[in-house]
Amino acid sequence: MREYWTSLASLMGAVAFLQGVVHAVFPAELRAAVARLLGRATRAFSPYCYFDVTETEGMGTNEIYDAVQLYLSSSAAPAAGARLTLSRPHNASSFTFGLAASDRVLDAFRGAAVTWEHVVAPRQAQGFSWRPLPEEKRRFTLRIRRGDRGVLLPAYLDHILAAAADIRRRSQDRLLYTNARGGAMDARGLPWDPVPFKHPSTFDTLAMDPERKAAIMADLRDFADGSAFYERTGRAWKRGYLLYGPPGTGKSSMIAAMANHLGYDVYDLELTEVGSNAELRKLLMKTTSKSIIVIEDIDCSVDLTNRATAAAAAQPPKPRASIDGGAIDQDAAAAPAGAAARSITLSGLLNFTDGLWSCCGSERIFVFTTNHIEKLDPALLRSGRMDMHIFMSYCTFPALKILLRNYLDDDSSASSSSAAAAATMAGLETWIDAAEITPADVSEVLIKNRRNGREQAMEQLLEVLKARAEKRPPSAAAGNATGGGDNEEEEEEEEEEKRALESPKEGGGEDGQDEETEAKKQLSE
């Protein structure tokens, strides 16, 4: 053993002596040139090719480096058993993992294997700089086979960028935007005011028939994964949903469930705050992709149903010359202040949802809600603008079971555990359709009685259903079967009265008197 260490020390001394001779005889430039030649020769006969993705590109950051880091840490690294670093960025709702220094991870794309290595090296001391660089140089090295280069590049990098963008979006808090200032810009040049979107509604808690929910979820998933389909067919990557039904049937909860299911931001567009079609287009251009644009109560926001008035106003009068030779807009001068403040037209709204301006972004969903679909202009309902019409009906028995599970931790097995509970559940199934009660009303009854126990809360709900069903006149069922009913007639009369009261203020003059007379005739009839 002693002779072994003596021989090893002699060998190391000889190597050090030869290294000193080489450094003394051959200059550094020659040694570097020989090293480069050996490296080129090695790479020429190697079956692999290498690509370096540095952290910085000049004085700026490299977008591909951040994308690769997110992709590897969230997709490939956990499955490969690599060593990871744990972090949580600012304004993020989940943790992120990073590949540790000098560690490798394997990945595959389109059947080709790739290897990523995270290389970290100390940076040489730098002089004075207005923007100091990090103390370490970081880069990712991609190793692929030469024969797979045409298959992987650039498709693999595009896949990484898309996956990283999706990971980054899902890790951040979703936002709810509103146009409180109409179309006016803030100091950052944005017309939307954001707040964190924390609505807890999901499709699991939404009170709706499971089959209808499954169909809606499948349609949403097909839309989110349909980039290639929309590009191949030459269609704008957008989709329209119309939610209609009585108040309290869960239209707003449906929108929140859609946003939580897809991870999209929500833009709540208030049409009454928008002054013109130009402002409407400006708001659309400032929305981001992967978002849901919502217009609630479209039939009550602005009057978009009077085509006769729009046709009469379609022919502008001849402009008359002003004192300085310019033209005066007679419509703007003669229009009342209220009409000038809100000049959104049906054509402007249609272009907003299905015109050229709607193609300035991608992966957007337009959602309109209304309580009276029959009052909407047919142009708003055609395919391409509202692709899917979703009727939010009164509470059905499958939806009732979801509400019982949400508020009382009740399921079918628990409800049938006793004879009394089974009888109550049978009564609920019998009376739920006849009562015509909304999910909001059912939720209110369950919230009030949730502390009294599950069986007592169900009994109280059964009494409410019986009372509501007995109060409804016999003719109401026939009216509802044909799409009418006393409640709808009363709502129509109330809206006609409101229009009759508002028409003198908006029209003014003889036109306003004519509209008031016409409204009174309609009410008298």
Quick: pLDDT tens for 129-166: 555 566 688 899 999 998 998 889 899 999 999 888 88
Domain boundary among 387, 408, 425: 387
pLDDT, tens only, 436-486: 999 999 999 999 998 888 889 999 999 999 999 998 876 554 444 344 444
Q: Same domain for 138 and 246?
A: no
* Residue 209 within a domain: yes
- Give the model's pLDDT for residue 204: 95
Q: Same domain for 347 and 205?
A: yes
Q: Which residues contact 294 (CB under 8 A, 6 or more apart)?
A: 255, 266, 267, 268, 269, 367, 369
Query: Which tokens hold the place of 525?
Result: 């009839």
Q: Same domain for 344 and 197?
A: yes
Average pLDDT over residues 258-284: 90
Average pLDDT over residues 359-368: 87
CA distance 2 to 506: 109
* Residue 498 within a domain: no
Q: Same domain for 282 and 307?
A: yes
* CATH number of the domain enclosing 382: 3.40.50.300
Q: Which residues contact 432 (CB under 8 A, 6 or more apart)?
A: 395, 396, 397, 400, 465
* Residue 160 within a domain: yes
For residue 1, with 0-12 CB atoms within 10 Å meaning exposed, 13-18 middle and 19 or more buried, which class applies? exposed
- Give the model's pLDDT for residue 402: 94
306 against 12, higher pLDDT: 12
- Give the model's pLDDT for residue 31: 80
- Does the structure show a pLDDT above 90 at 206? yes
- Give the model's pLDDT for residue 106: 86
- Give the model's pLDDT for residue 82: 59
- Give the model's pLDDT for residue 202: 95
CA distance 510 to 487: 34
- Does the structure show a pLDDT above 70 at 310? no
Q: Same domain for 210 and 150?
A: no
Pick the closest to residue 93 from 19, 20, 187, 197 (CA basis).
Answer: 197
- Does the structure show a pLDDT above 70 at 431? yes
For residue 369, with 0-12 CB atoms within 10 Å meaning exposed, 13-18 middle and 19 or more buried, which class applies? buried
CA distance 240 to 279: 21
Q: Which residues contact 133 (CB under 8 A, 6 or more apart)?
A: 56, 123, 126
CA distance 196 to 232: 36
pLDDT, tens only, 22-58: 888 888 888 888 888 887 777 777 889 889 999 887 6
Count CB atoms within 10 A of the CB of residue 75: 17
CA distance 50 to 40: 12
pTM of the complete model:
0.68
Q: Same domain for 273 and 420?
A: no
**Minimum mean pLDDT range among 359-368, 377-386, 437-446, 469-478:** 469-478
Q: Same domain for 205 and 286?
A: yes
b (16+ CB within 10 A) / e for 476-495: eeebbeeeebeebeeeeeee
Q: Same domain for 226 and 263?
A: yes
518 against 270, higher pLDDT: 270
* Residue 508 within a domain: no
220 against 485, higher pLDDT: 220
Q: How many structural domains does the chain have?
A: 3
- Give the model's pLDDT for residue 294: 96
Give the pLDDT band of residue 226 (cuts 50, 70, 90): very high
Q: Same domain for 49 and 81?
A: yes
- Give the model's pLDDT for residue 189: 67
- Give the model's pLDDT for residue 129: 56
Q: Same domain for 221 and 289?
A: yes
Bridge partner list, 61: 56
* Residue 263 within a domain: yes
The one-letter amino acid code at 46 reads S
- Give the model's pLDDT for residue 306: 47
Coil, strand or helix at 520 = helix
For residue 292, with 0-12 CB atoms within 10 Å meaning exposed, 13-18 middle and 19 or more buried, which class applies? buried
Average pLDDT over residues 282-310: 77
Coil, strand or helix at 251 = helix
* Residue 497 within a domain: no
* Residue 96 within a domain: yes
CA distance 518 to 524: 10
CA distance 520 to 497: 9
Bridge partner list, 106: 115
- Give the model's pLDDT for residue 439: 95
Give the pLDDT band of residue 336 (cuts 50, 70, 90): very low
Query: Which tokens hold the place of 9?
Result: 């020390």
Coil, strand or helix at 37 = helix
Q: Same domain for 197 and 303?
A: yes
- Does the structure show a pLDDT above 90 at 78? no
Count CA atoms closer than 13 A to 264's CA, side-chain side: 28
* Residue 165 within a domain: yes
CA distance 157 to 64: 8
Domain extent, residue 261, equals 175-387
The answer to whether 461 touches 455, Cβ cutoff 8 Å, is no
**Minimum mean pLDDT range among 170-174, 242-246, 482-486:** 482-486
Domain boundary among 335, 367, 387: 387
Q: Same domain for 438 and 383?
A: no
Query: 3-class secondary structure for 473-519?
Result: CHHHHHHHHCCCCHHHHHHHHHHHHHHHHHHHHHHCHHHHHHHHHHH
